[in-house]
Amino acid sequence: MRFAKPFRRVAAALAGSLLIVACSQADDQTGTAGVHAAETAAGSLDELMAAGKGIYEANCGACHQPNGKGLSGAFPPLAESDYLLRDREDVLAVALLGLSGPITVNDQEYNGVMPSMAHLKDEDLAAALTYVFNSWGNSLAAVTPAEVTALRDKLGQQDRARGEPHTGATESELRYSGAPLTIPGEEPRQPQDAGPVLSEEEFAAATQLYFERCAGCHGVLRKGATGKPLTPDITRERGTEYLKALITYGSPAGMPNWGTSGELSPEQVDVMARFLQQEPPSPPEFGLDDMKATWKVIVAPEDRPERPQHKRDIENFFSVTLRDSGQVAIIDGDTKEIVSVLKTGYAVHISRLSASSRYVYTIGRDAKVDMIDLWMDPPRIVAELKVGLEARSVETSKYKGYEDKYAIAGAYWPPQYVIMDGDTLEPIKVVSTRGMTVDTQEYHPEPRVAAIVASHENPEFIVNVKETGHILLVDYSDIDNLTVTDIGAARFLHDGGWDRSKRYFLTAANQSDKIAVVDSRERELVALIDVDKIPHPGRGANIDDPEFGPVWVTSALGNDKVTFLGTDPEGHPDHAWKVVRVLHGQGGGSLFVKSHPTSKNLWVDSPLNPEEAISQSVAVFDIENLDAGYEVLPIAEWADLGPGPKRVVQPEFNKAGDEVWFSVWSGQEEESAIVVVDDKTRKLKHVIKGPEVITPTGKFNVYNTVEDVY
């Protein structure tokens, strides 16, 4: 179904914000906190309003916005909405039945599909509608649960599950349904127990698309993490049209607009909407023997050059992910020349550098690790290894005496990490991360390995276990007798980085809306700091705040907040490990913030915001005058590209700290670019583009990555 142009993302007159995966995240992972928040509402206006606010924010706020004003050309407003003044029963019926076809809200026409919200409990829907009816200039009579019940009966919805959306299930059963099947080599199969039918070809295509676009946020088993759970008990209640609208238009809270950006065709959107209503296929395990079968030493250590074969400044090289081509480009930061384009794992997530600056270690989402020798002319892959079916993290040892001795890779599936020989990638030790959650201490079948950093204080890798909330200090001084210190933090650990001293590791537990701080010297948790909403710092940014001293900065997926945390317990003890400042950027959907010791700027991207003006530009703050707000730079416009989504992502500094590089990320068949900006003047300096620059995303400067300069 195509929507009329004025109705570009979602037609929703009431509660249709479409938040299964949209990262609104005011509720818990199952959505039950928001859904059941109204159970205790006694019916008074104050009680209904209090309960309704939470339900609205959990189910509607990301699209219609917390202030009810919606988004121009996207989501109809609820604030001072003349649509709410129509016949009361008709308005309530829209919430229960949905709506398709043309409507007019405050003299603006919309034409699309509003999905039914009948899956909400009667008391919850009553509370949410009451909140809408009496907020932002609206003044209408409260909606009672009895009123919703009576109308539901009149409309023939008596058989709807009005109580539990997952009848008879316990809280733990809602979150986890047990360990997956572990049949080696099992091919994806389509369960035909319920839900819309897919052909075998459609099911196979959707499985690949889900892996490429969705699994990173929602999990291989669809249990949710950064994104909402997508298990069939949830998705079947929403239905195909609901899911199609969400996939097509995304959400301001961080769900990408896969359809309107052109990254998925209408046919692919339809297949994905049906696929999500089927049971997810169970992938096989991947052990040491499986890894060794993929291990290749292409150039043995003794056959590699004894010195650099070129005169370029390796420390100012950039390793650039060419996402959808399954390649990495090595670019000379001085000349802006593409030195080498190498076939790597699919959608390389990060590049990490050896302590010597010689080797780049990359890892793709397909869990393939590649080792690139920068001394060669041109740089070449010298070893490779596949550590699982899906992965995100790789790192090398940095502690004195162990430089480059070991490498480590963390997998999303199977949930495990692998310690490898630093020169050859030979797998040595495989350790599972399956176990109990840090808070409820319930078993989780898919606790994925997120960020890994190398300690400067001890011979240890610091490993984030995403879903269970454990931070592992893996002592590599004796691999045969591996010692692991387990620090309980908060669930849904993701990315993070060092403070300026490189002693404290700050990492986001993004779905828990917290930042955990680990003292790598004393090997303990020193703070668990509340932030919001869905922090996603990358490695974060270290700056000297003119009022609060050294701080570390994170932005967020779920809102426009840029949050400053004090990081100097000795010089500024009153501010240490506290939120000391919150700025407001362009909007939600930010993935990275970045600064540099030589820079007076703080750069903030917003590539996952569905508004083109925001996703195609960046905000930059003057560190010496933070209260002045931000300047918007039109990075995508400077790239001078043709059609495409042109999302601007991941600022990265050059070695000197006087240039900031941005990826302008379009579709695989569309023109992309890397835009270089003068950090001091904030003016365009250079554009790198051409047929080799295909969907660039992450960029990693050699010197800054080796030295952990962030």
pLDDT reading at 176 higher than 50:
no
Choose the catalytic residue: 23, 60, 114, 214. Answer: 214
| Under 8 Å between Cβ of 198 and 277 | no
Reported as a pLDDT band with limits 50, 70 and 90, residue 252 is low
How do residues 348-390 score in pLDDT, each as one tens digit? 999 999 999 999 999 998 899 999 999 999 999 999 999 998 8
Tokens representing 82?
Answer: 């003349």
Preceding omega of 466 cis (within 30 degrees of 0): no
Whether 218 is a known active-site residue: answer yes
Neighbours of 400 (CB within 10 A): 8
DSSP state of 576: B
**How large is the average pLDDT for residues 547-569?**
97
Q: Which two tokens stand for residue 352?
A: 């990490």
Q: Which two tokens stand for residue 259?
A: 């359809």
Active site residue 217: yes
H or E segment to which residue 615 belongs: helix 612-615
List 218, 444, 572, 596, catalytic entry: 218
> How sure is the predictor about 65, in pLDDT bands with cuts at 50, 70 and 90?
low
Q: Is 686 in the active site?
A: no
Q: Whole-number mean pLDDT of the chain?
A: 85
Q: Phi/psi at 83 (nearest 5 deg)?
A: -65, -30
**The residue type at 2:** R
pLDDT digits (tens, 9 = 90+) for 612-628: 999 999 999 999 999 99
* Residue 36 designated active-site: no
CB 667 within 8 A of CB 263: yes
Contact 60, 16 (CB under 8 A): yes
Q: How far apart are CA 104 and CA 93, in angstroms?
A: 17
- What is the pLDDT at residue 114? 66
- Which residue out of 114, 217, 291, 376 is catalytically annotated? 217
pLDDT number for residue 541: 98
Triad 384, 389, 390: Cα angle to 5° = 95
DSSP type of residue 143: P
What is the Cα–Cα distance from 624 to 144, expressed in whole angstroms?
A: 53
* Catalytic position from the list 117, 255, 376, 420: 255
What is the reported pLDDT for 254? 64
pLDDT in tens, 335-349: 999 999 999 988 899
Structure tokens at 72: 């121009």
Q: Which amino acid is at 691?
A: P
Q: For residue range 204-246, list pLDDT tens digits in order.
A: 888 888 877 888 778 778 877 667 888 888 888 888 988 888 8
C-alpha–C-alpha distance, residues 470 and 465, integer Å: 5
- In the numeric block, which tokens belong to residue 380? 């070449």
- Note if the pTM is more than 0.85: no
| Given 119, 349, 470, 494, the catalytic residue | 494
| Tokens representing residue 438 in the block | 């840090």
The predicted-structure confidence for 633-648, as pLDDT tens digits, reads as follows: 999 999 999 999 999 9
Helix (H) or strand (E) holding 132: helix 122-133
pLDDT-above-90 percentage for the chain: 60
CB burial of 219-248 (b: ≥16 within 10 Å; e: otherwise) equals bbbbbbbbbbbbbbebbbbbbbbbbbbbbb
Whether residue 56 contacts residue 35, with contact meaning beta carbons closer than 8 Å, is answered with no
Measured CA to CA in angstroms, residue 292 lies from 183, 283, 345, 370, 415 at distances of: 19, 19, 17, 14, 18
Task: Kindly name the residue from 36, 64, 536, 575 that is annotated as catalytic.
Answer: 536
Q: Which two tokens stand for residue 475?
A: 């002592």
Residue 181 and residue 283 in contact, taking contact as beta carbons nearer than 8 Å: no
Active site (annotated) includes residue 310: no
Q: Report the C-alpha gap between 295 and 423 in whole angstroms.
A: 13
Residue 573 CA to residue 550 CA, distance in Å, equals 11
Q: Using CA of residue 58, residue 61, residue 62, residue 66, what is the dihedral sign?
A: negative
Residues 441-480 pLDDT 10s: 999 988 999 999 999 999 999 999 999 999 999 999 999 9
What tokens were used for 707?
A: 């030295």
Give the span between the Cα atoms of 160 and 259, in whole angstroms.
31
Buried b (16+ CB within 10 A) or exposed e, 33-52: ebbbbbeebeeeeebbbbbb
| pLDDT on residue 165 | 38
Q: In the numeric block, which tokens belong to residue 35?
A: 């859904």
Are 471 and 506 spatial neighbours (Cβ–Cβ below 8 Å)? no
